[in-house]
Amino acid sequence: MSLFNMGDKAYLMLADGTVFEGYSFGAKGTSFGEIVFATGMTGYEETLSDPSYYGQIVTQTFPLIGNYGVNDEDYESKTSVVSGYVVREWCNAPSNFRCEGNVDEFLKKHNIIGIHSIDTRCLTRIIREHGVMNGVITTENVYEKKDEFLKKISEFKIVNAVKSVTVKEQEFFKADNAKYNVALFDFGYKFNIRRELVKRGCNVTVVPADTTAEQIKALAPDGIMLSNGPGDPAENVEVIANLREVNKLGIPTFGICLGHQLTALANGAKTEKLKYGHRGANQPVIDIALDKTFVTSQNHGYAVVSDSIDPSVGEVSHKNANDGTCEGVRYKSFPCFTVQFHPEACGGPHDTAYLFDEFIDMIKKNKEDN
């Protein structure tokens, strides 16, 4: 951002009363949320349009954001649901042949409050030390409303996240030379999940999160995809109960992120909230069967508790190389595997895209056997 045009003042206040002063870009106003950080050096468009960030104020740890601008083709959803955006420096003169606008214009279009020129390194260290905390991002004078804001910060909670982002009715996407039909549960899905399926010859029917097992059975899909999404997985009581019935259909199933967590909960496992979550494009994950470590893209604040998985039901297939948390489960009583990370990651890394091929192979084998 040019030093000759810093913009109006903006503030970010944490639950502990810490205030960061910076300058405003994007929309004006006040927004409360859960403050998280993402470590990606690129992919800010995908971050801003990822429904998994519902209710969260996103901090980018990479110091310069916006240098290649934005364009509609890279969005992961139709809109943006982040509660605020925090960067060290934003580029107001992007340069890229695909550029259709800048980050400031994107934030204004989607009514998202942004703040720049704060010490994001310091903010990230606070979150790493104390864990994810609530906060407020505002263009009002935070000092004049400090007590009021602190009260609202303490009361803030992300609720009805999946209900807020899922489609309201089915949407159909046809593949060229289609071989299979896949039902994609939309818990807040990223468009690239659909793209990865379509380019592998799958017609995709995106279905609302509350779609029942009977409705899935009526669609008669060859496979089921359970998408990523926002919020506390345990909040989705009705969805979890329904997934138990969906699992009984015996249809090959692949779950990603929230879909991974919900499947675990539906099969008797537990989830826990992580101190500051895994968000970014550099999370190392070990594929236990292959005995290989892959670099993955991740965005989650909860994890499946490995010890809570019944060995007769499933087994941990992947684990995080940093903290040992569960990153994948393969189930034994029905054809299903799930992962915590994002094999569809766009813009990368693409190391684990092979899992989509495994899913297609599972569908193919199931059709041949039946």
110 is catalytic: no
344 is catalytic: yes
How far apart are alpha carbons 341 and 318 in whole angstroms?
10
Going from the C-alpha of 359 to that of each of 207, 292, 330, the distances in angstroms are 19, 19, 12
Closest CA to 180 of 49, 364, 22, 325: 364
89 is catalytic: no
User: Partners of 224 in the beta sheet?
Assistant: 183, 253
Backbone φ and ψ for 201, nearest 5 degrees, come out as 85, 30
How far apart are alpha carbons 321 and 327 in whole angstroms?
10
Residue 157 neighbours by CB distance under 10 Å:
12
How far apart are alpha carbons 231 and 240 in whole angstroms?
14
The catalytic residue among 278, 336, 342, 346 is 342
The catalytic residue among 34, 76, 327, 344 is 344
Rg (CA), the chain: 21
The catalytic residue among 202, 257, 336, 346 is 257
Joined tokens for residue 148: 């009021």
Catalytic sites, residue numbers: 257, 342, 344
